[in-house]
Amino acid sequence: MLKPNQTQIFLSIFLFCLLLPMSLWAGNAAIKTTAGTVYVPAYSHIYHGNKETPLLLSVTLSIRNVDPDNSITVFVVDYYETQGTLLKNYITEPVILGPLGSDRFVVPQKDSSGGSGANFIVEWKSEKPTNPPIIETVMIGTQSQLGISFTSRGKAIIK
């Protein structure tokens, strides 16, 4: 049988072990890092209607440095089509984003080469441990009376 002090210690450890994973699952734990590779879904068109008519979309890739103290350097912004073929390198030299800075890259609405499974690969680094950036796409398109807009958030990948 546990003594009162042992019971309190046991309950504290139990609650810590129970609640820590919950906070990690909820995305409450921020882990600073010095580099990352991010896969970002993009859609140069989507399908609508019974005949699966394509609706062309403009795509804006947004890279946001959410760290208030540190810069990040973006050194790869590559655009791929549905089958995984590289279509375009958006940068030829590194882009530095200062604390809380952002940049954007646009695929015009008339460019349907990416297809419905297009994506970006973004690689970034920093000199000090940094909050990872938010990297997302915003897709917008209109046709006749139809208009659509939505976003897609990037996912860190391990290379």
For the stretch 66-103, pLDDT in tens is: 999 999 999 999 999 999 999 999 999 999 999 999 99
Identify whether the C-beta of residue 98 lies closer than 8 Å to the C-beta of residue 71: yes
Say what the pTM is: 0.80
- At residue 147, the pLDDT reads 84
CA distances from 9 to 12, 17, 66 (A): 5, 12, 38
What's the number of CA atoms in the CB half-sphere (13 Å) around residue 28? 8
Burial of 97 (0-12, 13-18, 19+ CB in 10 A): buried
Give me the residue label for tokens 């882990």. Answer: 31
- At residue 28, the pLDDT reads 46
Enumerate residue ranges in the chain where pLDDT < 50. Answer: 2, 11, 14-20, 22-28
Which residues is 36 bridged to in the sheet? Answer: 124
- At residue 23, the pLDDT reads 42
CA distances from 64 to 84, 89, 156 (A): 25, 19, 14
**Within a 10 A sphere around the Cβ of 79, how many other Cβ atoms?**
23
